Structure 1
Amino acid sequence: MDKVVASAASAVADVRDGASVAVGGFGLSGVPNVLIDAVHASGVSGLSVVSNNCGAMDSGLAVLLSAGRISRVTGSYIGGNQEFARQYLGGELELELIPQGTLAERLRAGGAGIPAFYTPAGVGTQVADGGLPWRYDGEGGVAVASPPKEVRVFDGTEYVLEHSIRTDFALVRAAKGDRHGNLVFNRSARNFNPLAAMAGRITVAEVEELVEPGAIDPDQVHLPGIFVQRVVALTPEQAADKKVEKRTITERERTA
């Protein structure tokens, strides 16, 4: 039952070239940076990544992206990641853009054993009709486009069929975890981390605080340990290393 491994490197040692990996995080919040750095150090490439976004500020998945280790991304947001946009438009990687809520449900469904589901999101757009550019040819043309999806009518409303997502591995970050793999996430880090963890056949969690079994109130567990196979305890320095993507400062009015 003790799922704690000695290091991040040993926790991801069996990630091979071409593996599919679901990665938690929302922007810079709750990103498993230590595990991602360990994957980068291992030298694997050709990874198929499922994540809301693909890193920012040269951290998170941006480390693997800039090194050319990612061949395909399934996600919802490119944002201000200029290297991501450059590789996509240049035909260097394949990108499946899907609505954010659909991405979340596809991950959750994969972990719940549900093969597919119907959703109204995307009906009447290229998400359902097909034709979204998955890969460019490097010269402005589309090399690979998304196929059309099945659309059915329920109670007079159209719904598009979306398939669930299962990946070889999942990498997540939790605020607290015990040796059995029960995890607690902090605020917006809870958005995609539990869902990514559910989708992975082998899920590795880096935890900012490692506690003994029984120290977490069962009612406070956000993800039960049945979904987690390996736990990596972060050092205090690693746990405290959190970046701010955009800092906004408002000047206070001077008083007479």
Structure 2
Amino acid sequence: MSKFYNDPAAALEGLLFDGMTVMSGGFGLSGNPESLIPVIRTAGVTGLTVISNNAGADGFGLWMLLESRQIRKMIASYVGENKLFEQQYLSGELELELTPQGTLAERIRAGGAGIPAFYTRTGVGTVVAEGKLTELFDGQEYVRETWLRADLSIIKAWRADPEGNLMFRKTARNFNPNMATAGRVTVAEVEEIVPAGTFDPDCIHTPGIYVDRIVVSTINEKRIEKLTTRPKEPA
């Protein structure tokens, strides 16, 4: 059965439902599944728990689902310059589980690896540790963190081959490979589909066994988060 779908709506058909948990790749404006997110908005599903490093930026990415009030809870590590994210959290409209960035990455990796819990020093003695078990190892206190898994992972890659093996380009690799392993179903949007044998096996970032559906991206904006310039120096 082919993993390839004609358009983003077809790639998500039959996968969306109210109250589901969605992992969404990306870091800042890099590596966001920007073709798949609008499909979720159009579908109108509500009460979503979304796991992502951040929630997009004004007018971009997961911001669209915040604006439409489809997200009930965010599990994230960064609010950043997303004013809507900030407003909804401070008003009590949005539930937020703020997680240190490295811990977030490890919780996702653990979910994909079948590891229910692990211990870390990060967050000990802070609000991050409230309500969580702690334990001493070699005289040091560690907090227990649990895995993260999702009903659906939506990720963005650079290239895919016919078996669904993926390569990511530079910093777009970010959370995407780990999220591909931690979703019950993983849908990848890619910029290019290449012939079988194109990839050196040692250079595959995500094996196709973790990828259920693939679609060619319809949106590839590649925005720059913060553009700074300076006058050209005289020759």
TM-score (norm 2): 0.96
Which whole-Å CA distance do the structure 2 matches of 1:48 and 1:206 have between them? 21
Q: Does 1:166 align with 2:166?
A: no
Q: 1:252, CA displacement in angstroms?
A: 2.0
Q: 1:215, CA displacement in angstroms?
A: 1.7
Which whole-Å CA distance do the structure 2 matches of 1:42 and 1:212 have between them? 33
Which whole-Å CA distance do the structure 2 matches of 1:81 and 1:74 have between them? 15
Which string of whole-angstrom CA distances, capped at 9 and with x for unpartnered residues, describes residues 4-23 of structure 1?
Answer: 11211011122111110000
Q: Does 1:249 align with 2:232?
A: no
User: Contact 2:109/2:182 (CA < 8 Å) preserved in 1?
Assistant: yes
Q: 1:100, CA displacement in angstroms?
A: 0.2
- RMSD value, Cα: 1.2
TM-score (norm 1): 0.88
Which whole-Å CA distance do the structure 1 matches of 2:45 and 2:194 have between them? 32
Amino acid at match of 1:242: K
User: Contact 1:4/1:231 (CA < 8 Å) preserved in 2?
Assistant: yes
Amino acid at match of 2:149: R
Q: 1:37, CA displacement in angstroms?
A: 1.0
Q: 1:178, CA displacement in angstroms?
A: 1.5
Which whole-Å CA distance do the structure 1 matches of 2:77 and 2:217 have between them? 29
Percent of aligned pairs sharing the same letter: 53
Count of residues in Structure 1 that have an aligned counterpart in Structure 2: 234
> Which of 188, 196, 206 does residue 205 from structure 1 map onto?
188
Structure 2 equivalent of residue 19 of structure 1 = 20
Q: Does 1:233 align with 2:210?
A: no
Which whole-Å CA distance do the structure 2 matches of 1:11 and 1:91 have between them? 33
Which whole-Å CA distance do the structure 2 matches of 1:213 and 1:3 have between them? 14
User: Contact 1:179/1:231 (CA < 8 Å) preserved in 2?
Assistant: no
Unaligned stretches of 5+ residues in structure 2: none
Unaligned stretches of 5+ residues in structure 1: 131-147
Query: Where does structure 1 differ by over 6 angstroms across 4 or more consecutive aligned residues?
Result: none
Q: 1:58, CA displacement in angstroms?
A: 0.7
Structure 2 equivalent of residue 181 of structure 1 = 164
Amino acid at match of 1:107: I
Q: 1:233, CA displacement in angstroms?
A: 1.4
Structure 1 equivalent of residue 109 of structure 2 = 108
Q: 1:66, CA displacement in angstroms?
A: 0.8
User: Contact 1:57/1:245 (CA < 8 Å) preserved in 2?
Assistant: no
Structure 2 equivalent of residue 220 of structure 1 = 203
Q: 1:245, CA displacement in angstroms?
A: 1.8
Which string of whole-angstrom CA distances, capped at 9 and with x for unpartnered residues, describes residues 137-172 of structure 1?
Answer: xxxxxxxxxxx1111111111111000001000000
Which whole-Å CA distance do the structure 1 matches of 2:230 and 2:80 have between them? 24
Which whole-Å CA distance do the structure 2 matches of 1:216 and 1:2 have between them? 19
